[in-house]
């Protein structure tokens, strides 16, 4: 599919170190060259983000740590000074790496310790550059560092690589005690974005994210080929991914969405309409006989089928043209358990989306959990994930005191391997993981922020999107990735005032924009 070919890699700290080591080992660059390019990229990003600095110099405070992130800071200080800026440099400690030590020597100005920092310094220097700790942070940030960063509130704050205190692999804070959050205005990173830029608090703290090249593109491509499934990718979509080009309605699959009883059909109706809008050839809603009239009054193109209990589902699935099931939205936990016993039975297995009440039913019955298969997509939010995988959720909830901290990516990958199927763990940082280790992150951050999705029923629509794509023939992992991406795009396209019913109706506009 076109959308998969456009994906962008997100790196761990270890992968970034491996890329740089490969480039240095091959003799293509030196560590000092990479540091010089990084500093230059930061300066250019600052001037691009605040255009007034292209014509006039400013005043900056550069806070340098002991590692290579601090070395980048010394380069930035030197380059800004060469542009006529007034620059003050403060160091947390002596440089602890050879390259950082060289760059500190090349800085031709004084370096004061953090103990010399005070409010007037920041009031007189409205740009503050955080080069204290970058991707290599593995220990909690101490209160003195938080104090220095807190004094910079009100300034224009720039982070090199990552805001200090954020774990590069998880986006979680590595800190002890209480502290105030002061998001940065701009974060500049190198070669590729890191997981921590899009996970957890990293996306909130980073402000605007800019990725600048430092000449390791070949090594990045090599790592992606070698790492294979171990590389996490950022979901995107491209033109032509969702086009219908030939055939008839049965060419695009038949999805069956199972609904709850009287007064509980709204969630399933939204899922069914979403499946139809995204291109499933046919969609049927299966509901108890007493709910048929209610659903008929609200549905036209979506067909209806009486499904009172397990036996009715067996009869319905005798139609081999039904190739996809969606269970959970508004289904009721007891009804879900009854129908899941059939839906997951070996002779009845289809591509299947499990959401909401179906996930709760699976969490309560080890036999249902064991019946999950490779054609399933589980779509839990945090609470449902905790019921399904309590040990993994507990690890995510622990205070992070060492890095790399356990991440949402780690949890989703472990869950997918345990369940033997695709797991989509919802959130602004939705993570989609497959049992073979493939993983994508659908980030609703930066220029893709979509706060309007915080509305009742949005998850039901997502389940329907994925079911419709499964019906059309996409594999479970690809359907989950594409469905999550389109879900955010529909919300962004509609904007404020969004309710869940709007999402399927906005989809044609999004698909037209993609050229589908």
pLDDT, tens digit (0-9, with 9 covering 90-100), for 15-35: 999 999 999 999 999 999 999
Whole-number Å distance between alpha carbons of 512 and 516 = 6
Quickly state the pLDDT bin for 420 (edges 50, 70, 90).
Answer: very high
In this prediction, residues 147-151 reach a mean pLDDT of: 87
3-state DSSP call for residue 441?
Answer: strand
Architecture of domain 7-230: 3-Layer(aba) Sandwich (3.40)
CA geometry: angle 317, 320, 324, nearest 5 deg: 70
3-state DSSP call for residue 174?
Answer: coil
In this prediction, residues 334-338 reach a mean pLDDT of: 97
pLDDT digits (tens, 9 = 90+) for 483-501: 999 999 999 999 999 999 9
pLDDT at 175: 74
CATH 3.40.1190.20 domain range(s) in the chain: 249-514
CATH 3.40.50.10260 domain range(s) in the chain: 7-230
Cα–chain center distance at 482: 13
Establish how many alpha carbons lie within 13 A of residue 330's alpha carbon, considering only the half-sphere containing its beta carbon: 28
* Exposure b/e, 142-152, CB count within 10 A at least 16 = b: eeebbebbebb
List the beta bridge partners of residue 8.
234
Q: What rounded mean pLDDT belongs to the chain?
A: 94
395 has pLDDT over 60: yes
Quickly state the pLDDT bin for 148 (edges 50, 70, 90).
Answer: confident
1 has pLDDT over 50: no
Of 120, 145, 143, whose CA–CA distance to 64 is shortest? 145
pLDDT at 7: 56
**Which residues neighbour 247 within 8 Å (Cβ) at sequence distance 6 or greater?**
none
pTM, two decimals, is 0.94
4 has pLDDT over 50: no
Whole-number Å distance between alpha carbons of 94 and 79 = 21
3-state DSSP call for residue 256?
Answer: strand
In this prediction, residues 82-98 reach a mean pLDDT of: 96
Whole-number Å distance between alpha carbons of 250 and 261 = 28
pLDDT at 203: 94
pLDDT digits (tens, 9 = 90+) for 355-370: 999 999 999 999 999 9
Contact 412, 432 (CB under 8 A): yes
| Cα torsion 409, 413, 419, 421: sign | positive
Quickly state the pLDDT bin for 282 (edges 50, 70, 90).
Answer: very high
- Per DSSP, the residues of 366-392 read HHHHHH--TTEEE---HHHHHHH-HHH
Whole-number Å distance between alpha carbons of 156 and 52 = 13
Whole-number Å distance between alpha carbons of 453 and 429 = 13
DSSP state of 56: S
pLDDT digits (tens, 9 = 90+) for 229-246: 788 999 876 555 677 787
Q: Domain spanning 249-514: which CATH class is it, in words?
A: alpha beta
Whole-number Å distance between alpha carbons of 461 and 446 = 23
List the beta bridge partners of residue 303.
284
Q: Centre a 10 Å sphere on the Cβ of residue 224 and count the other Cβ atoms it contains.
A: 18
Establish how many alpha carbons lie within 13 A of residue 157's alpha carbon, considering only the half-sphere containing its beta carbon: 24
pLDDT digits (tens, 9 = 90+) for 124-139: 999 999 999 999 888 8
Among 3-17, 61-75, 330-344, name the one with the lowest average pLDDT.
3-17
202 has pLDDT over 70: yes
| Sequence-distant contacts of 490-496: CB under 8 A, at least 24 apart | 491/444, 491/450, 491/452, 491/453, 491/458, 492/448, 492/449, 492/450, 494/452, 495/452, 496/452
């Amino acid at each position: 599919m076109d959308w998969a070919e456009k994906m962008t890699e997100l790196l761990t700290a270890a992968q970034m170190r491996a890329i740089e080591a490969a480039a240095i080992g091959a003799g293509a660059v030196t560590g000092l060259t990479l540091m010089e390019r990084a500093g230059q990229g930061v300066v250019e990003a600052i001037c691009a983000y605040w255009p007034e600095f292209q014509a006039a110099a400013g005043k900056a405070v550069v806070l340098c740590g002991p590692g290579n992130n601090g070395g980048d800071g010394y380069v930035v200080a030197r380059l800004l000074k060469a542009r006529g800026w007034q620059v003050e440099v403060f160091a947390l400690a002596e440089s602890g790496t050879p390259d950082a030590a060289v760059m500190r020597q090349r800085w031709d100005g004084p370096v004061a310790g953090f103990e010399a920092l005070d409010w007037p310094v920041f009031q007189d220097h409205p740009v503050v550059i955080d080069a204290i700790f970058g991707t290599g942070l593995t220990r909690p940030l101490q209160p003195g560092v938080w104090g220095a960063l807190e004094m910079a509130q009100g300034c224009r704050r720039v982070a090199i690589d990552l805001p200090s205190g954020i774990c590069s692999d998880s986006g979680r804070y590595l800190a002890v005690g209480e502290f105030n959050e002061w998001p940065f205005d701009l974060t500049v990173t190198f070669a590729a974005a890191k997981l921590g830029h899009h996970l957890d608090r990293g996306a909130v703290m980073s402000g605007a994210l800019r990725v600048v090249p430092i000449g390791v593109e070949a090594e990045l491509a090599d790592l992606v080929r070698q790492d294979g499934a171990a590389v996490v990718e950022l979901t995107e979509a491209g033109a032509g991914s969702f086009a219908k080009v030939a055939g008839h309605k049965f060419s695009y699959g038949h999805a069956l969405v199972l609904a709850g009883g009287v007064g509980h059909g709204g969630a399933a109706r939204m899922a069914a309409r979403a499946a139809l809008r995204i291109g499933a050839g046919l969609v049927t809603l299966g509901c108890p006989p007493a709910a048929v009239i209610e659903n008929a009054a609200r549905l036209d193109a979506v067909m209806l089928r009486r499904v009172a209990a397990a036996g009715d589902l067996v009869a319905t699935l005798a139609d081999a043209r039904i190739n996809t099931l969606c269970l959970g939205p508004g289904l009721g936990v007891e009804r879900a358990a009854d129908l899941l016993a059939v839906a997951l039975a070996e002779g009845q297995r289809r591509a299947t989306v499990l959401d909401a009440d179906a996930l709760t039913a699976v969490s309560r019955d080890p036999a249902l959990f064991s019946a999950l298969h490779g054609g399933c997509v589980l779509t839990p939010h945090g609470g449902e994930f905790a019921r399904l995988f309590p040990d993994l959720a507990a690890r995510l909830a622990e205070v992070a005191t060492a890095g790399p901290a356990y991440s949402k990516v780690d949890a989703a990958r472990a869950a997918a391997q345990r369940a033997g199927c695709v797991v989509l763990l919802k959130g602004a940082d939705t993570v989609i993981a497959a049992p073979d280790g493939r993983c994508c992150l659908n980030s609703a951050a930066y220029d893709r922020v979509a706060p309007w999705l915080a509305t009742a029923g949005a998850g039901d629509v997502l389940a329907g999107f994925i079911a419709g794509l499964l019906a059309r023939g996409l594999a479970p992992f690809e359907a989950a990735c594409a469905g999550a991406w389109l879900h955010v795009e529909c919300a962004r396209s509609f904007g404020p005032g969004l309710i869940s019913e709007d999402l399927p109706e906005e989809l044609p506009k999004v698909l037209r924009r993609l050229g589908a």
